[in-house]
Structure 1
Amino acid sequence: MTSPSVGRAAQSSVYRAGALGTRPWVPVAPVRLERAARRAMSRRAWAYVAGSAGTEATAAANRAAFDRWHLVPRVLRDVATRDLSTEVLGRHRDTPLVLAPMGAMGLVRGDADVAVARAAAAAGVPYVASTQASAPMEETARAVDGAEWWFQLYWSKDDELVTSLVRRAEAAGASALVVTLDTHVLGWRARDLDLGHLPFARGEGIAQYTSDPVFVDLVRRRAAAAVASGPRPRPTPAALATLASIARRHPGRSFAERLRSPLPRAAVETFLDVFSRSDLTWDHLAWLRERTRLPIVLKGIQHADDAERALDAGVDGVVVSNHGGRQVDGAVGALDALPAVVARVDGRVPVLFDSGVRGGADVAKALALGADLVGLGRPWAYGLAVGGSEGVDEVLRNVLAELDLTMALVGVRTVRDLRDDDVLVPATGR
């Protein structure tokens, strides 16, 4: 994306509208965007999206890590045009952004994954569809209408299911496979625990599974066994409400039929049994490579030695990420982990980054520290809550506008130029 005015055009449209009495309907300031999203979400949705592990120290560390680096503006450089484009995984890209995967977004909005995919495609930003999406990946593929999208894989305990999900992603047109490594068990998420709420236990965020033939076969066998074991105890009112939630989200002809069927409940129980596995090792990556032609990118790398092991395993890229602080309380800030991983990888594969990014200046810092692409997470979810697909589009426009203006003001014309030594310095001094 080469333009003299991406940022200025966004500013101008806001200020011109403001002169006529209209303010942005999706807040620009990250704090105001977060507040607006909280008002738009249910308590359960807000806890799930905004919450992090334990005392949420890691989420705070993610933000603090950005404060430990300062951009150094340079003047009297010709930056009349800027180029936000880059090339990663063999593809030219108009921007250095990806939309990081977020699961159970049906909590935020009913059409979540389709709405987000459309906005991402319109902005030329790859959407990483989650295994825990609220819509099947085939719907995501149709929504992007030929634009690039990736599939994020949570590695199930059932190898046939993993194979099926990967093959579906290939058939639907995904251009990369992002294997998330840091969630083989769920972190201790206090906000969700206080509400006693796990979306998957209510049938939310398991649409990739209930649309999968291997998973459906597992569910049918489980349901048959449950029927054979005889009637269950009379459910409580809370259990009936949960059953209704499960039935609403399960595929089928009518809600009444789904409510009576043993399949929706069996689907949730099966998912909870097979969601992930904790006995994976580096040796398993060879098994996955044999089952896909897609580039394999490992997400959740936070140590340079693990990056080295990933290279030894022949992966095509790594993502420095701590899951937005949602898994381990008191862990290293993701941006703090980035420089060592970049140094160890030394350009042999792309290094992607997410966790803690809130605006375009954050993107610039991550790029300056060596990230090839930067993932945006919670901000797009907040935009979705406030305004659906158009809300996501506004958030993306604002982040890219700030990135463009930040590049101009620090005196660089291209994304690659951000890596110059004089663009970013530690906060303690030069």
Structure 2
Amino acid sequence: MGALDLAGIESAARARVPRDIWDFIEGGSGAERTLAANRKIFERFALRPRVLVDVSTCELGQTLLGTRLDTPIGIAPMAYHRLVDEEGETATAQGAGRAGALFVTSMFASRTLEDIAKAGGPRWLHLYWLRDRAALAALVERAEAAGFGALVLTVDAPRIGRRLRDQRNGFAVPPHIHAVNLDADLMATSHRSEKGSSGIAEHAREQFDTTLTWADLGWLRARTRLPLVLKGILTAEDARLAVEHGVDAVVVSNHGGRQLDGAIPSLAALPEVVEAVPAELPVLFDGGVRSGTEAAIALALGARAVLVGRPVLWGLAVGGADGVHQVLDLIRDELDHTMALLGRPRLADLDRGAVTDWPCPTD
């Protein structure tokens, strides 16, 4: 692709992807305040470089919940990768595998878990809590058999946010693309297109269990040996409850600005969540990262890994597995470069002392 930064890949992807699909990928909920805030808040932090440190080699590898990773940059869960590339999630898995990066695979993947596993690379499975618990249990069993390393349960989506772009477009999943790991009857509503409504939202209203509480986590725990990660934690209160309920890790996330509009930006929530949990419990982060420097800020604020969403689909749309690999490598290389110039050559060196609050010029 030849792009030197993610902006070039984004521009190339936008020229290739149909408008309604682009809006589905890029859009947020409501007035998209949180979507914008996820990006803007990085400007509130500046880096504090140290000097005269041996930075001849920067160490970016780590083991997370038993999964060995070559980079702290991973892929956030996103549905239906075949919307932008015929090979879909198998190409994404190949690109992630070449980068040694974690791929959190959506339960609404458009390729089978088994095919994704064959493509290689570190992988965890993402879940929404369906009303049909038998379908959920069967999916968990398949994931464990296919070598997925953990379960990532989204907890901030009892309903889908009001995504006005999708409603204006009457967006629905195209008929030739399916969430192939679930029974077609469970997914039928997602294919229904009507102006002023969203097939994705209609499907969520029909299938997501809005009665889910902390007490239900025990049911899932009893059905798997895999570590359990909760995605969508934004407060210290919920972080402490996650610890009390035996969760193995949390992801600080506001769903990429796609759920509650006006919710706190993920980066603003990160420090209080990190402070609320034991040091040994991993806190992952997603929310607007578009460079290795921004990833360094999140890591310095306490994240153990940074998950990237939309840019991965840009790369997939432009170059398939090669494009995914390029996106991940661009961010990793920028992170490596930033760590060297910061004088902090190990992930453990990226601590709160590496960043300082820096009010936006417009404040």
Decide whether the 8 Å contact of 2:299 with 2:350 is kept in 1.
yes
Work out the number of aligned pairs and report it.
352
The answer to whether the aligner puts 1:87 opposite 2:55 as a matched pair is no
Residue 173 of structure 1 aligns with which residue? 147
Q: Map residues 155-304 of structure 1 onto 2, 5 A cutoff.
A: 155-199=129-173, 202=175, 204-210=177-183, 275-304=207-236
Match of 1:424? 355
Choose which of 303, 320, 325 in structure 1 pairs with 2:257.
Answer: 325
Tell me which moved more, 299-308 or 78-87.
78-87
Contact 1:154-1:275 within 8 A present in 2 as well: no
What RMSD over aligned residues (CA atoms) do the two structures have, in Å?
Answer: 2.3
Structure 2 partner of 1:52: 28
Shift of 1:89: 1.3
TM-score in terms of structure 2 length: 0.91
Deviation at 1:354, TM superposition (A): 0.5
| Alpha carbons of structure 1 residues 273 and 63: separation in structure 2 relative to 1, 3 Å | closer
Mapping of 1:306-325 within 5 angstroms?
A: 306-325=238-257
CA deviation after TM superposition for structure 1 residue 161, in Å: 0.9
How far 1:50 moved relative to its partner?
Answer: 0.7
- Mapped partners of 2:41, 2:165: distance in 1: 24
- Partner residue, 1:358: 290
Per the alignment, in what secondary structure is the counterpart of residue 83 of structure 1? coil
| Partner Cα separation in structure 1 for residue 157 and residue 172 of structure 2 | 15
Question: What is the DSSP-based 3-state SS (H/G/I as helix, E as strand, rest coil) of the residue aligned with 1:209?
Answer: coil
State the one-letter code of the partner of 2:308.
L
CA-CA distance at 1:271 after TM superposition: 6.0
Deviates more, 1:377-386 or 1:91-100: 91-100
2:93 corresponds to 1:120: no
- Residue 174 of structure 1 aligns to a residue whose secondary structure is coil
Of the two, which has the highest radius of gyration? 1
Partner Cα distance (1:48, 1:26) in 2: 26
- Looking at structure 1, the residues matched to 171 and 293 of structure 2 have their Cα atoms a distance apart, in angstroms, of 35
Q: Structure 1 CA distance, aligned partners of 2:328 and 2:6?
A: 12
Q: What SS class does the counterpart of residue 150 from structure 1 fall into? A: strand
Cα distance in 2 for partners of 1:355, 1:272 equals 22
Structure-1 separation of matches of 2:219 and 2:106: 21
Which residue of structure 2 aligns with residue 150 of structure 1? Answer: 124
- SS of the residue corresponding to residue 230 of structure 2 reads strand
* Aligned mates of 2:85, 2:79 — CA distance in 1: 12
Is the contact made by 1:338 and 1:369 (CA closer than 8 Å) also made in structure 2? yes
- Residues 30 and 148 from structure 1, CA distance in 2 versus in 1: closer, same or farther, beyond 3 angstroms? closer
Q: Which residue matches 1:250?
A: none
Q: 1:26 deviation in Å?
A: 4.6
SS of 1:299's partner is strand
Question: How big is the shift at 1:148?
Answer: 2.0
The 2-side partners of 1:331 and 1:272 are apart by: 20
Identity between Structure 1 and Structure 2 (%): 44
Q: Residues 322 and 333 of structure 1 are in contact (CA less than 8 Å); yes or no, is this contact kept in structure 2?
A: yes
Rounded Cα–Cα distance in structure 2 between residues aligned with 1:26 and 1:290: 48
Report the Cα distance in structure 2 between the residues aligned to 1:191 and 1:373, rounded to whole angstroms.
30
Q: CA deviation at 1:33?
A: 2.2
User: Matched residues in 2 for 1:272 and 1:371: separation?
Assistant: 30
The separation in 2 between residues aligned to 1:185 and 1:420, in whole angstroms, is 35
Indicate the larger mover: 176-185 or 30-39: 30-39
Contact 1:96 1:372 in 2 (8 A): yes
Q: TM-score, normalised by structure 1?
A: 0.78
More helix by share: 1
Distance in 2 (CA, whole Å) between partners of 1:91 and 1:176 is 9
